[in-house]
Structure 1
């Protein structure tokens, strides 16, 4: 069974931001992350849910969008308010939690416990 893919796009327009896209049910679930993925467990980043994208966005680039990271992801825990997952990308594996706050707003949090490989 194939592992679900992810891509992190670096967008330069209309304002610089990142798009986190996780493969699920044949589409890429997507969040706009204005300040990029958190690198420290003491800070959270706003993540705004945006419409799902087609799978061809895994490799999509253009003059305003490049791929910042790509690989596969694994879900570790999930309920109506939270998704805990590990991204296995080009620069290693990192565990995050997406925490639903309201409407389309989520917080993206890098967990204190990180994978040891």
Structure 2
């Protein structure tokens, strides 16, 4: 076997399929890995980290232009980034109730991911680190249990977002994917700002760039086969202008 046929077999073999865990702690990253070909995508494959004691930890919001533009809110819980896709983005306006679709957990390494997911890959499109910082649950005993119960009150301390937020499951499911629909809202506190629109704050807190600028010239690729501390490397200069993202396909990553 040679040429394209051999390459196709290798790529399929590299795409991780869900497997039954042989440990008492199942791997919540199996659905994430099963959807991605890490030969092609610069996203990290990641490893399950040890949970942080006391609840809370880091958070990131990534502005992701895939099949449709959305913002991915990710909270560090239980050694992974528990994630929601928020089509209109998080806001400081307490009068707004934003749809938030619960998606698969992501590895902690994803918290710094900014770049372009190639065409044909799950979630293809450009991604920026729109906001990041730390978060703390209002009830610190077991935030994972609160997520499972469908109601999480938490505080964000980011570069754009701050104050008390609420995520609450609606009981509805979205489309054929069957993903859970939640609502995200900001409580009325000293950080609330009426009329605050995330689209008026378009730049990355990591690089200062917009999605358009990252799509035109991604500065780094993620080497998913390297240790996290060494994984990020400069991207080679493109030979020509990049193709438009996959009609921005595969949203909600």
TM-score normalised to the size of structure 2?
0.43
CA distance, structure 2, for counterparts of residue 21 and residue 81 of structure 1: 16
Q: What runs of 5+ residues in structure 2 fail to find an aligned partner?
A: 1-52, 117-125, 174-179, 192-253
Which one of the candidate residues 62, 67, 72 is aligned to 1:19? Answer: 72
Q: How does 1:19-98 map to 2 (within 5 A)?
A: 19-63=72-116, 64-77=126-139, 79=146, 80-91=149-160, 93-98=162-167
- Structure 1 segments unaligned to the other structure (5+ residues): none
Aligned length: 116
CA–CA separation in structure 1 for the residues paired with 2:65 and 2:58:
23
Q: TM-score, normalised by structure 1?
A: 0.89
Secondary structure of 1:29's partner? strand
Please report how far the alpha carbon of residue 92 of structure 1 lies from its aligned counterpart in structure 2 after TM superposition. 5.7
The structure richer in strand per residue is 1
CA contact (8 A) 1:38 1:44 kept: no
CA deviations on 1:9-61 (whole Å, 9 max, x unpaired) are 00011211000000011000000000000231111000000000001111011
Return the alpha-carbon distance in structure 2 between the equivalents of residues 89 and 98 of structure 1. Answer: 17
Let me know the Cα RMSD of the aligned residues: 2.1
Retained in 1: the 8 A contact 2:57–2:77? yes
Q: Secondary structure at the match of 1:58?
A: helix
Cα offset for 1:109? Answer: 0.8
